Amino acid sequence: MAHLLTYRENLDSLTQQSRFRQLRSRQGIDFASNDYLGLASSERLTCAAENALARNVALGSGGSRLLRGNDPEHEVLESEAAAFFGCEAALYLSSGYAANLAVFATLPQREDTVFYDELVHASALDGMRLGRANCTAVRHNDASAFEAAIVDWRRGGGKGAPWIAVESLYSMDGDQARVEDLAAIADRHDGFLVVDEAHATGVMGARGRGLTETLEGRHNLVTLHTCGKALGCEGALLCLPSVLRDFLVNRARSFIFSTAPSPLMAAIVREALRIVEDESERRERLWAMVRHGERAFARSGVVPTGSPILPLILGDDVRTMEVAGALQEAGFDVRGIRPPTVPAGTSRLRISLTLNASEADVTALGAVLEEVLQP
């Protein structure tokens, strides 16, 4: 039909650029997921679901939380999460995307400015587009650049509060933000610090609380802990001062007008937090695998990041997908990442190390990768 032609032409353009996306079933050894601790199919989470069903926890909520959808499981999870992450209050939402949308579309006010890392999550950028505050991109992972940008803004007549928005562990590069330096900058300029802990929750920090573990309880800190990555579940927890939680409940459209998350899932997330608390050996095994992976992939040019995320930047889109395809054919689920997910010219393999693979699998992948990359 003629009115669909524009869409077909757009998709054809993506195909010509080797950027056409397709859904594919999971195959091969997991080097692609964010299930870092291997919890998604763990026995403890399965038992938690069974036990919750046995005590008649509902699968569906039946409505938004401000109508009839609020369930005791949501409230208990939020209370336990606040204690776990050392914050004043927590709010459970359906996804990390919905949580970022709620924060950035709602909390920064009209005279405020959001200073965001140029590689921050797309969901944060979408939230900013819906918000009322001005927004300024800042050079990636450069704390001094954040301070300089705020100083320039103030000198130019900037009013309101500065909001510093970063990820703690960047999903495509595997590098880490200097959260303590950024917190000090927020303090000096009467601002707020928003840290997306999506890829650090359960993995980073001495107790698996993320890289903001040392900043717990600060009045000007908002952290986002997704439940669908290392926690192996679904949804997201915002940890923040009580007054900001109440403001979101009253003003955040992605919270107010969304059906509440499954009470059953809330019960399972509670168990995931207990696993992080109880089973520190999972993190120890993961970090042993990270060290092993850094050795196994070194000859292929993979640079250590100090995290389970190990990118290999190949640059060219077509070459990236060819290498990823060869690894998949060999039985390793490694995915190619292309623009616009990453900046132009930085197409890469994103090797994700999880407890769903073994050290022997890592060694085998290293050997195949080295072979595939041969000219």
| Annotation marks residue 56 as catalytic | no
pLDDT tens figures, 304-361: 999 999 999 999 999 999 999 999 999 999 999 999 899 999 999 999 999 999 999 9
Q: What does the pLDDT look like over 352-366, one tens digit per residue?
A: 999 999 999 999 999
Report the topology of domain 25-40+280-372. Aspartate Aminotransferase, domain 1 (3.90.1150)
The answer to whether 171 is a known catalytic residue is yes
Catalytic residue among 30, 73, 147, 167: 167
Whether 34 is a known active-site residue: answer yes
Residue 214 has phi, psi (to 5 degrees) of -80, -5
For residue 195, the cross-strand partners are 166, 223
Confidence at 129, pLDDT banded by 50, 70, 90: very high
Q: Closest Cα partner for 327 from 355, 283, 357?
A: 357
Task: List beta partners, residue 259.
Answer: 64
Catalytic member of 42, 74, 168, 199? 199
Model pLDDT for residues 155-191, shown as the tens digit of each residue: 999 999 999 999 999 999 999 999 999 999 999 999 9
Please answer whether residues 115 and 104 qualify as being in contact, where contact means their C-beta atoms are separated by less than 8 angstroms: no
pLDDT, residue 282, reads 97
Catalytic-labelled residue, pool 171, 220, 262, 352: 171
Contact 206, 213 (CB under 8 A): yes
Q: Among the options 74, 189, 225, 229, which is catalytic?
A: 229
What pLDDT, on a 0 to 100 scale, did the predictor assign at position 54?
98
Per the listing, tokens 């001062």 go with 241
Quick one: angle between helices 122-130 and 96-106, nearest 10? 30
pLDDT bracket for residue 22 (50, 70, 90)? confident
Percent of the chain scored above 70 by pLDDT? Answer: 100
Type of residue numbered 360: A
Whether 76 has a pLDDT exceeding 80, the answer reads yes
- Nearest Cα to 33, choosing from 334, 291, 292? 334
Largest CA distance in the chain: 61
Residue 306 DSSP SS3 = coil
Q: 3-class DSSP state for residue 78?
A: helix
Tell which CATH classification among 3.40.190.80, 2.40.40.20, 3.40.640.10, 3.40.47.10 matches the domain 57-277.
3.40.640.10
Q: Which of 30, 94, 95, 121 is catalytic?
A: 121
Q: How far apart are CA 308 and CA 43, in angstroms?
A: 23
What was the pLDDT predicted at 175?
96
Domains 25-40+280-372 and 57-277 share a fold: no
Q: What is the DSSP letter of 233?
A: S
Whether 159 is a known active-site residue: answer no
**Mean pLDDT for the stretch of residues 184-200:** 98
Is residue 1 pLDDT above 80, yes or no? no
The pLDDT assigned to 19 comes to 80
Residue 292 falls in the annotated catalytic set:
no
Q: pLDDT tens-digit profile of 207-229?
A: 999 999 999 889 999 999 999 99
| Domain regions of the chain by residue span | 25-40+280-372, 57-277
pLDDT > 80? residue 375: no
Report whether pLDDT(25) > 90. Answer: no
pLDDT at position 289 is 97
